Amino acid sequence: MLAIEVNELVKDYGKVRAVNGISFSVDEGEIFGLIGPNGAGKTTVLRIVSTLLQITDGSVKVFGYDVAEEPDQVRKLISYLPEDAGAYKNLTGIGYLRFIASFFGDNEKIDEIVNRGIKIANLGKRIYDKVENYSKGMVRRLLVARALMTEPKLAILDEPTSGLDVINAQEIRKIIQNTASQGTTVLLSSHNMLEVEFLCSRISLMNKGKLVEEGTPSELKEKYNAANIEEVFTKVVK
């Protein structure tokens, strides 16, 4: 089954066309990368798939549900982590996870979700500290845990390792891989091309609102005679 079906998607902001008739699909269980330079339209696409933005034209379906006509059904299946997401600084890490989990079930279910979040965040005893005392890497790990602890069918992750050091970024990549191995589909956007190449089974490259290339990392490297996806990116986006 297809996790995501995007068909001739258009999104206008007034007179500006941010997304210009793109189409792509994501298979259930895969990690799919949507990459491109700043202003390419990637985040707009992620927000549309997340039901946060209205579509100008075209259609998007998530596990068969139309995001425009059945947004409530879509929201039950997804989790979205924006690049600029933040956590409530006056809460402890575990308090924040419990607050988010409270939207997803009764006490027994909440405990199950929170325990999963604690394991994903892997912050040790610091999970009991206030978020205001966390480093940027710790906050990001908490946010990734928040996004994945509910076991969504589709996780939409915008720059999940943005601004993190190598060790923290590597930990989050492992978390994403492990989540996908357990059946969650991941739609990922990142400016880190090595990260994209490492994580994604397929990649779509956007530029100026359009899809300009798509394929597996190995297919794209072969097509452009490139050593890595970073080289492919620079050859395609000129």
Helix (H, G, I), strand (E, B) or coil at 215: strand
Sequence ranges of the chain with CATH classification 3.40.50.300 = 1-77+153-163+181-238
Helix (H, G, I), strand (E, B) or coil at 189: strand
- pTM comes to 0.93
Evaluate whether 55 touches 10 at the Cβ level (below 8 Å): yes
Confidence band, pLDDT 50/70/90 cuts, at residue 106: confident
> What would the mean pLDDT of 12-27 be, rounded to a whole number?
96
The fold for domain 1-77+153-163+181-238 equals Rossmann fold (3.40.50)
Please name the residues in contact with 189: beta carbons below 8 A apart, sequence gap of 6 or more: 33, 34, 35, 42, 43, 46, 157, 158, 159
The percentage of the chain sitting over the pLDDT mark of 70, rounded to a whole number, equals 100
Residue 158, burial from CB neighbour count under 10 angstroms (0-12, 13-18, 19+): buried
Residue 163 reports pLDDT greater than 80? no
Q: For 25-65, what is each residue's pLDDT tens digit?
A: 999 999 999 999 988 999 999 999 999 999 999 999 999 99
Q: For 180-235, what is each residue's pLDDT tens digit?
A: 999 999 999 998 888 999 999 999 999 999 999 999 999 999 999 999 999 999 99
